[in-house]
Amino acid sequence: MDCFETLIGRLAAERNLSDSELAFLIENDSAAEPLFAAADRVRRSIYGDEVYLRGLIEFTNYCKNNCYYCGIRAGNPNAVRYRLSQEEILACCEEGYSLGFRTFVLQGGEDPFFTDDRLCNVISAIRKRFSDCAITLSVGEKPKESYQAYFQAGANRYLLRHETADDAHYKKLHPGSMSPENRKRCLFNLKAIGFQVGSGFMVGSPGQTTENLVCDLRFLQQLRPDMIGIGPYLNHAQTPFAGSPDGSLWQTLRLISLLRLMFPYALIPATTALGTISPEGRELGLKAGANVVMPNLSPVGVRKLYDLYENKICTGEEAAQCRDCLARRVLKAGYRVVTAVGDVKKEPEKNH
């Protein structure tokens, strides 16, 4: 135990450890409690007990990609496809605003219907109606010019998980048409344009090793994102990985704590995948260092269709129910949701 405490103390002080030390904490279940306690101390020292709300609008499940783990991959003929109209998206924002949301996350598959022009129209319409809100996009890999156009139209944050930073592992999870280089290039382009950038990875995806996870942490140290989203890999029967075991709740939680200690200022969500793998998953995620929750604002009629993995939670609840449910869960975990745009806090400059 002493050994954990010493390692974790060093990680908290230096925000870094050697590869083998990180691997030890990633693999070792007994590290959980001291890691959670240290991560919670750091999160409270910067963000207090505040938890930021993001309203998730899953606006299209069409996708031209074929990621081997994902239920809405182009190659799944059983996926029932939908896309929301601009009016429907705005109605979700309207409802979200009245429920206290000040960030809207537009997430979708890589849907060719949403050309840059169409997407920019949606973004400008939201920007005009909700000038005090943050607009977060999560629509995948695009040319730099497209990202630039979205930024100019009024989007200010972008989520693009790198999924896995190890090239060989990336190729096991994705078809040859996708490359780890392009994904990483996209992330650096987004940063250069001025987006607040979120990245992240799945925990326990097929073929993942501890070394791959250390590689993920190293990549994040290079990228220095504002937001880091992770969740356990979850099985989906209509993918080439059907039957692969789910990732581990506890390993995901330990990684959330490691991320909080390595990136004290980061915005880290307690994700839907975490809430899916365990009924208390999001509460545990908050206690392990997460400080963001993302209730679903999509119309209930399409919720089940955004079917990335099996048994996804929150598919039957109206936006207001989802928000209230999460607010209660956050309180029970010892924190409170706030109505705020919830930008990342910047670390004070050292004056030496």
Closest to ligand FES by CB, 213 vs 322, is: 322
- Residue 52 interacts, among ligand 5AD, ligand FES, none and using kind-specific CB cut-offs from 5 to 8 Å, with none
Among 4, 150, 158, 309, binds ligand 5AD (CB under 6 A): 309
Closest to ligand 5AD by CB, 49 vs 310, is: 310
CB of 161 to ligand 5AD, least distance (A): 4
Q: Is residue 193 at the binding interface for ligand FES, with CB under 6 A as the rule?
A: no
Which two three-digit tokens encode residue 312?
A: 């996804």
Q: Is residue 202 at the binding interface for ligand 5AD, with CB under 6 A as the rule?
A: yes
CA angle 258, 314, 62 (to 5 degrees): 90
Closest to ligand 5AD by CB, 134 vs 202, is: 202
- Residue 70 interacts, among ligand FES, ligand 5AD, none and using kind-specific CB cut-offs from 5 to 8 Å, with ligand 5AD
Q: Is residue 322 at the binding interface for ligand FES, with CB under 6 A as the rule?
A: yes
Closest to ligand 5AD by CB, 107 vs 257, is: 107
- Residue 228 interacts, among ligand 5AD, ligand FES, none and using kind-specific CB cut-offs from 5 to 8 Å, with none
Tally of CB atoms within 10 A around 145: 9
Q: Which of these ranges, 49-57, 119-127, 134-142, 317-325, lies near ligand FES under the rule CB under 6 A?
A: 317-325
Closest to ligand FES by CB, 26 vs 297, is: 297
Count, residues near ligand FES per rule CB under 6 A: 7
Nearest-CA neighbor of 286 among 14, 2, 43? Answer: 43
Q: Is residue 109 at the binding interface for ligand FES, with CB under 6 A as the rule?
A: no
Tell me which residues in 265-294 interact with ligand 5AD (CB under 6 A). Answer: 273
Nearest-CA neighbor of 138 among 74, 60, 65, 208? Answer: 60
Nearest-CA neighbor of 294 among 320, 271, 268, 325? Answer: 271
Among 22, 126, 308, 322, binds ligand 5AD (CB under 6 A): 308
Closest to ligand FES by CB, 179 vs 315, is: 315
In angstroms, the CA 242 to CA 73 distance is 13
Q: Is residue 290 at the binding interface for ligand FES, with CB under 6 A as the rule?
A: no
Tell me which residues in 133-162 interact with ligand 5AD (CB under 6 A). Answer: 161
Tally of CB atoms within 10 A around 311: 12
CB of 241 to ligand FES, least distance (A): 26
Beta strands 55-60; 50-53: pairing state = unpaired
Q: Which residues bind ligand 5AD (CB under 6 A)?
A: 69-70, 161, 163, 202, 231, 233-234, 236, 273, 308-309
